[in-house]
């Protein structure tokens, strides 16, 4: 299997499709420590090779930034690539962010992925340094608010930790986008998944949360469990019922925007403020759930996303 160096960018969020991508780390540190999450195959060969966790030399990153500045990439958002750039020492990451702001004109947004554990390891002062350097938003995989599911999927953090990490990010002035994976508990834990995820979202009230629907890639540990009949993938109608239950159980304090902006999903309903739009969103989701075409639909079973 080909080993991909850290400067090769394997993945970025759909919302960053038209952004300037700058690799600062490669792979995911959680993979290196534990083998990673059971449902994730991102850096394990599904996208053309294995990418071990690595930190790119600062000089190489700054040279990339210089190059893009000279090429007049004015007005582009910038996404700092790698599975968890927030694993970098704070001053290292802040230096990169500041240099982007200095060398590239009119950057409307600087963003990156973040792991909850990495955020917990940083002090409030360190997160404030990153915010003041110009980090606008981080994308964090909550996946589920259920401690049972988080442990089962080997996320390495529980709901209490996620709540603490999410609040730390928001307190620092950095915006927070949380990912929720519909179907991650299978049929056994679908109720638990929905109710507990709504609880954690309510506690954090993130800037935005995004739904993704579980598709089990063939290079993951979870795929083996599916093949052995130990884990059953939700049908589209049941994934939508789960999404309905998450939204329906959010507390009245939740003013987050939310999206279904991924190829894995079975609907594209969204809102800029779920508190204001909840009833409309629930009606739309209900219409999908009761659509005969969706009731009879089988899971997409995507093997490449």
Phi and psi angles of residue 83, each rounded to the nearest 5 degrees, phi first: -65, -35
Residue 122 has pLDDT above 90, yes or no: yes
Q: What is the pLDDT of residues 41-75, one digit of tens each?
A: 999 988 889 999 999 999 999 999 999 999 999 99
Per-residue confidence (pLDDT) for residue 87, from 0 to 100 = 97
Q: What is the pLDDT of residues 13-23, one digit of tens each?
A: 999 999 999 99
What structural domains and CATH numbers belong to the chain?
Answer: 1-135 (3.30.750.210), 144-153+182-305 (no CATH)
* Contact between residue 203 and residue 186 where contact means Cβ atoms under 8 Å apart: no
To the nearest whole percent, how much of the chain has pLDDT over 70? Answer: 100
Q: Model's pTM, two decimal places?
A: 0.97
| Torsion region of 21: left, alpha or beta (phi above 0 gives left; psi -120 to 50 gives alpha) | beta
Residue 1 has pLDDT above 90, yes or no: no
């Amino acid at each position: 299997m080909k080993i991909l160096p850290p400067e090769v960018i394997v993945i970025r969020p759909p919302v960053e499709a038209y952004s300037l991508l700058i690799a600062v780390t490669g792979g995911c540190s959680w993979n290196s420590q534990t083998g990673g999450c059971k449902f994730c195959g991102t850096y394990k060969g599904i996208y053309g090779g294995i990418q071990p966790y690595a930190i790119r030399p600062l000089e190489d990153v700054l040279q990339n930034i210089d190059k893009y500045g000279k090429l007049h990439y004015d007005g582009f958002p910038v996404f700092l690539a790698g599975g968890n750039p927030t694993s970098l020492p704070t001053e290292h990451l802040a230096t990169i962010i500041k240099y982007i702001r200095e060398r590239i004109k009119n950057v409307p947004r600087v963003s990156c992925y973040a792991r909850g554990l990495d955020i917990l390891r940083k002090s409030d002062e360190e997160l404030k340094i990153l915010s003041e350097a110009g980090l606008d938003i981080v994308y964090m995989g909550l996946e589920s608010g259920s401690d049972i599911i988080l442990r089962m999927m080997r996320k390495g953090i529980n709901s209490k930790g996620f709540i603490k990490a999410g609040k730390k990010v928001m307190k620092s002035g950095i915006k927070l986008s949380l990912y929720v994976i519909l179907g991650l508990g299978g049929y056994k834990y679908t109720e638990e998944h929905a109710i507990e995820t709504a609880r954690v979202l309510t506690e954090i009230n993130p800037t935005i949360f995004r739904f993704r629907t579980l598709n089990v890639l063939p290079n993951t540990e979870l795929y083996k469990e599916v093949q052995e009949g130990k884990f059953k993938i939700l049908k589209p109608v049941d994934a939508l019922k789960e999404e309905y239950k998450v939204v329906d159980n959010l507390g009245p304090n939740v003013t987050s925007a939310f999206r279904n902006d991924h190829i894995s999903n079975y609907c594209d309903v969204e809102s800029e403020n779920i508190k204001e739009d909840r009833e409309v969103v629930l009606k739309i989701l209900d219409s999908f759930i009761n659509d005969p075409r969706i009731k009879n639909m089988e899971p997409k079973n995507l093997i490449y996303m």
